[in-house]
Every structure is written in structure tokens, then in C-alpha cells.
A and B are shown apart, each in its own frame.
Chain A
């Protein structure tokens, strides 16, 4: 069964550093998402991406965040200058055309020290 993959599984970075979280959505999917989950809290929507542009973004997704689909297979989330409060699990998800089922990756645990 096809699956969404994410790398790395765990990223440790120092405050102020840039990080790029990578996702490979399911190959024929068209809609892509990033969510985050701070430890012990609920899942929060960050951004949706369709047709090579952002469809919607939440208040969390400020100017420090950006997304890109650089090569038709990868979908990346960049945080330009990480803060301690960016420490969380980051999940990528994708949806195929004509479907409503979001397939989630296993997540990347980001730890900012």
C-alpha cells in the first residue's frame, strides 16, 4: 500500500537555525498539508498546498515558515529561524483527486535547543 514518508524522523537544531523537513507524498496525490503537534497537545493545521501554491494557511504559519514542492515528488517545510516553541512533531499529509482521505506520514520530531 502506498504511503507518505518523512525525513528525518528526528531533527535536533539550535535556536535561530534554519531547518527543512522533507516529505514524499503519495505519487498521484494533488493536495498536500503540513500539521504540527506539540507534545501532549492537539494536532494543529499549518498549511495546505495545491497546484504549486499555498491554498490556505493558519495563524501559526507566519513569515518564518515556507513550503515548496521543488521537484514534483518532495514537499518541504522550511523554518527559517527556529524558536524553542517550534519544538513539536510535524506531520505531512496528502490527498488524491476526488478523495477526502488524508494520508499522513509518520512525522518528524523537531527539537529546538
Chain B
């Protein structure tokens, strides 16, 4: 079973920041935190991942709580193209991804 908990859906306005939360209270010391997204009718797409420290890349930022029991994906300026299902996934060293239901992000123009 998925080891993360995410809201079923969230809404945000275009060109505003979006904070997508994820709880993973049973995370182990070797689990990486991954975020993927799936746009409608497409394959999943990697967004970002981290272990302990906050991470930034061209798509998003990942803020990881100090106790690692939760994390937040931050889209700094959402566009309509960011409307997708966002998945928070824990992965051990074997790289296997076990998916949950994710958060459906709705962007309002």
C-alpha cells in the first residue's frame, strides 16, 4: 500500500503559487521522497525528489519537514499547463515506486 497521504484535490488560481502537501509519517531513514505528475491522457512525469534537504529545480521546489514526516511540493507560479494529478511517493534504494491516488490539481484561469 502507498505510504503517503495527500488531499484528493486542490484548486488554485493561474499565476499564483501552489503548495501541495504530503504526509508520510512512517517514512524510514532510507526512503527518498519523490513527486511525479500525470497530465491528462499522458504518462507520468518526474517533478522532483529529495531525501532530507529542501530541493529546487526548474519545475518546482520541495520543502521537507525537519522530522521528514511531511513534505510540500511548491509550484511557484502555476499555469494552466500545470493542471494534473500530482503524486507523492516514497522510494527506497530499489527505486521501485508505489503509487497512491495523488492530488488532482485544478488551475482556474
Which residues 41-67 in B have Cβ within 8 Å of A in the complex?
42-46, 49
CA of A44 to CA of B44, assembled, Å: 12
CA of A107 to CA of B32, assembled, Å: 25
Is B34 in contact with A104, judged by CB distance below 8 angstroms?
no
Residues of A within 8 A of B101 (CB): 42
Of all chain A residues, the one with the shortest Cβ separation from B51 is: A100
Residue in A43, A55, A105, A107 whose beta carbon sits within 8 Å of that of B99 in the complex: A43
Contact-residue bracket for chain B: 20 to 34
A-B pairs with CB below 8 Å: how many?
53
Is B98 in contact with A45, judged by CB distance below 8 angstroms?
yes
Is B97 in contact with A45, judged by CB distance below 8 angstroms?
yes
Is A102 in contact with B46, judged by CB distance below 8 angstroms?
yes
> How many residues on the A side are at the interface (Cβ–Cβ under 8 A)?
21
> With A42-B100, A42-B101, A100-B34 known to touch, is A95 a contact of B95 (CB < 8 Å)?
yes
Is A105 in contact with B95, judged by CB distance below 8 angstroms?
no
Q: Which residues of B contact A (CB under 8 A)?
A: 2, 32, 34, 36, 38, 42-46, 49, 87, 91, 94-102
Q: Which residues of A contact B (CB under 8 A)?
A: 31, 33, 35, 42-45, 48, 55-56, 91, 93, 95, 100-107
